[in-house]
Structures are given as structure tokens and as C-alpha cells.
């Protein structure tokens, strides 16, 4: 395993830990933004905005949950205390099209994702996200989940 692969695994492990903080009963997603010098800039997980209660009835209602949820990638970008231009984002779930656009706009240059089967309901959004990232020159590396 190369040095880069070791760092990628470490930060993906961290993203999995951050994902465990999510209250979402079906899909827990974590993201870690890392500076070029391999130090952590920000973390985020999918969940309701600050001040919005994690009410079980809202978490169990898909339409409400989707309407209220801030995605892990967006949470990490929004809570960074500095610009993230030139950084890498590690995430446990492929970014959706909206998050991909935000990643590009924030100046993140690399996305590292745990490779999993794409749920059918997200296939179109993931395809659009891949196009946005590719068109903007953001590299995407898929890393297999550990057995």
C-alpha cells in the first residue's frame, strides 16, 4: 500500500466515524475535508440544521427528512473556519449533484469516496454529480470498503 493509499484509508476511517454521529435511521454519511498538508480542516455528517430537533417522526418520513437534511459534504464545507480551496474531501457516500456543485464552487480539487453499490433512487443524481466533477477537473477516487 502506498503512502497516499494509507492516508486515504485513514481519512475514510475518520469519515466513517463522523458518519456514525448522524441521527438518520437509514443512511449515515460522513465527510472530512483535508488540507494539502494532510491536516483536517473540517468534518460534517448528514443531519438536520442546528436548532432543528431530531424528531423521530421527521427522521422516519422520507419527504420531510430529505427536505430538512443538510448533507455531510455541505455540512463540512459550511462549518469550515477557512477557505477549502485546494483541499480533498473524503466521504462515505457518493456526493449528490447539488453537493458536487458545492464542492466545485468551494474549490475542492479531489473527492475520495467509499465505493458501494449505488442505490437506484440516487443513480441519476450520482451520474450528474460525476459529470459536474469531471467537467470542473475535480478528481474522484473510489476506494473499496474494507472487508
- Helices 72-79 and 97-106 pack at an angle, to 10 degrees, of 20
Indicate which residue of 5, 73, 120, 144 is catalytic. 73
Cβ neighbour number for residue 5 with a 10 Å cutoff: 11
- Helices 97-106 and 123-135 pack at an angle, to 10 degrees, of 20
Residues belonging to the binding site for Zn(2+) are: 71, 96, 99
Q: CA–CA distance from 109 to each of 30, 40, 104 (Å)?
A: 18, 15, 7
Residues belonging to the binding site are: 71, 96, 99
| 144 is annotated as an active-site residue | no
Q: CA–CA distance from 102 to each of 9, 98, 105, 139 (Å)?
A: 24, 6, 5, 15
Return d(Cα 81, Cα 51) in angstroms, integer. 20
> Which has the closest alpha carbon to 25: 67, 65, 68, 70?
65
Catalytic residues: 73
Amino acid at each position: 500500500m502506498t503512502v497516499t493509499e494509507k492516508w486515504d484509508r485513514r481519512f475514510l476511517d475518520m469519515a466513517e466515524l463522523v458518519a456514525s454521529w448522524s441521527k438518520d435511521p437509514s443512511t449515515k454519511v460522513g465527510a472530512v475535508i483535508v488540507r494539502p498538508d494532510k491536516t483536517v480542516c473540517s468534518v460534517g455528517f448528514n443531519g438536520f440544521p442546528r436548532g432543528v430537533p431530531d424528531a423521530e417522526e421527521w427522521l422516519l418520513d422520507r419527504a420531510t427528512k430529505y427536505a430538512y437534511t443538510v448533507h455531510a459534504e455541505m455540512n463540512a464545507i459550511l462549518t469550515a473556519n477557512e477557505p477549502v480551496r485546494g483541499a480533498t474531501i473524503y466521504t462515505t457516500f457518493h456526493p449528490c449533484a447539488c453537493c458536487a456543485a458545492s464542492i466545485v464552487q468551494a474549490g475542492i480539487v479531489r473527492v475520495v469516496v467509499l465505493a458501494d453499490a449505488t442505490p437506484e433512487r440516487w443513480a441519476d443524481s450520482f451520474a450528474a454529480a460525476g459529470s459536474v466533477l469531471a467537467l470542473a477537473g475535480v478528481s474522484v477516487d473510489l476506494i473499496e470498503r474494507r472487508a
